[in-house]
Amino acid sequence: MRDSNFDLVVIGAGPGGYHAAIRGAQLGLKTAVVEKDDGSGIGGLGGVCLNWGCIPSKSLLKNAELVHQLKNAESWGLSFDNFHADIGKAVDRSRKVSASLTQGIGFLMRKNKIELVRGKGTLKSSTVVEVGGETPLTAGNIVIATGARPRSLPNLEIDGDTVITSREALDLRHKPEAIGIVGASAIGVEFAYYFNAYGVKVMLFEALPRLVPKEDEEVSMELERAFRKQGIKFATSAAVEGVDLSGDRAAINFKAGGEQQRFECDKVLLGVGVQPNSDGMALEAQGIAVNHGFIEVDSRMRTNVPGVYAVGDVTGKMPLAHVAFTQGAIAAETIAGHETFEIEDYSDMPRCTYCVPQIASIGLTEAEAKERGVNVKIGKFPFRGAGKAIAVGEYEGFVKVVADADTGEVVGTHMIGPEVTELVAEVGMLRLLEGTNVELGALTHAHPTLSEAVKEAGLAVTNEAIHA
């Protein structure tokens, strides 16, 4: 008979949930994880991230990057006869990658003696979780980590066939001739790059005035330039009014530049945000505060009900897997009475976009810093000035450091270019330690590396960059 009494019960085994469970077990808490998997792919160990999100999408983007490079093979001294890129095999590879990692999460559950309970968890009280018709689980503490799912727009209802989400896009083994992508934040621009690399006609639609509108404005401008060069079309300040599905192909009706326009395609991909998986959880019955379905938490992931915590996308804080990782660990450490960090400002969380050129940022944009009254001073360095970038043939983009001119503190860094999603960690540590551009510039960086561009951008704040 299954044990039903635990120190910690986690509902959801996605990034936030499994981190909370493993960290709790490490700290001596008797832990159980409740995970539903209805066969839709929204669920399972590792959650959306490992199954139908971060991991398989990055696998496909690597394939796209290789295809993109091989289109210019002659510049590398390579030649091919009858070169063919099979998008179906790329999808197959991504599924193998995903499977290997979800199996790894299962191993970690067993290693840490965490009880895995299959089914949908519902709160019966602040200490009881009901799972189907099984014996309820009693817990000293509960962590809700049920995640979120893509949302439709009033005039664009997801049908999973023609109007799709990233979930269906990740499993398209036959490439469409043309695709319209609504929303030009991370998901939108990543899929735009992916499909374009395989020869699909791509059109991006963004309601705001620029691509990746939450990034620094100069980053947006650089991405737009790169996408034009790659042949990716886009419309900004565009109002998508609906999709006509009456013909042989879908037709997106939109207004941009003061004109009514129409784009015909085979698939329409929505990348316009998420809605929380909090419905059916009986949260209101337990008095748990929510805001449009997202669970409200404090800096230690505590809800307003003692003993109940929430982590990950269901909190609505920042729908990124690594944010959920940190939230999960903080919740478990708080429950165990262990010293922990708190999240006071989510702008200190790194944001990464994996199209080519890649985008990575942390802290405040130049505009945000000025709005907060910071006496801003900028240091900027192009990858074209970094020897390693030239050597590997990837020199689009730049590193931009936003510093407080009065103190030198680096309040934000924004990068677009080769492997910047790896380079951002250095600036993250600098932010954690409240470092300055002087320290960033003083640190010796190995040569030749792409990271030298970060050092040079730090030096550029005070006009001391060597290679600028």
Q: Is residue 338 flagged as an active site residue? A: no
Beta strand 250-256 with 259-265 is: antiparallel
Q: How far is the C-alpha of 49 from the C-alpha of 15, rounded, in Å? A: 7
What lies within 8 Å, CB to CB, of 329 at 6+ separation is 19, 20, 23, 340
**Helical H segments across 41-121, by residue range:** 47-52, 54-70, 87-111
Distance separating alpha carbons of residues 85 and 107, to the nearest angstrom: 35
Q: What is the DSSP letter of 262?
A: E
Tokens of 7: 């120190």
Nearest by Cα to 154 from 246, 238, 240: 240
Using DSSP, state whether 112 is helix, strand or coil: coil
3-state SS, one letter per residue, for 149-210: EECCECCECCCCCCEECHHHHCCCCCCCCEEEEECCCHHHHHHHHHHHHCCCEEEEECCCCC
Q: 188: number of CA atoms within 13 Å, CB side?
A: 27
CA distance 135 to 153: 39
Give the span between the Cα atoms of 68 and 407, in whole angstroms: 43
Q: Three-state DSSP class for 255?
A: strand
Residue tagged active-site, from 338, 414, 445, 447: 447
Peptide bond into 448 cis (omega under 30): yes
Q: Rg of the chain over CA atoms, in angstroms?
A: 23
Check: CB of residue 362 under 8 Å from CB of residue 351.
yes
Identify the DSSP state of 463: T
Phi, psi of 168 (to 5 degrees): -70, -35
**What would the two tokens of residue 262 be?**
């129409």
Separation of alpha carbons 363 and 365, rounded Å: 7
Q: Which of 264, 303, 250 is nearest to 281 (CA)?
A: 303
Question: φ and ψ at 193, to 5 degrees?
Answer: -65, -45
Cross-strand pairs, 250: 265
Q: Torsion angle of alpha carbons 454, 460, 462, 467, nearest 10°?
A: 110
Please answer whether residues 102 and 14 qualify as being in contact, where contact means their C-beta atoms are separated by less than 8 angstroms: no
Peptide bond into 357 cis (omega under 30): yes
Query: Could you give the residue numbers annotated as active site?
Result: 447
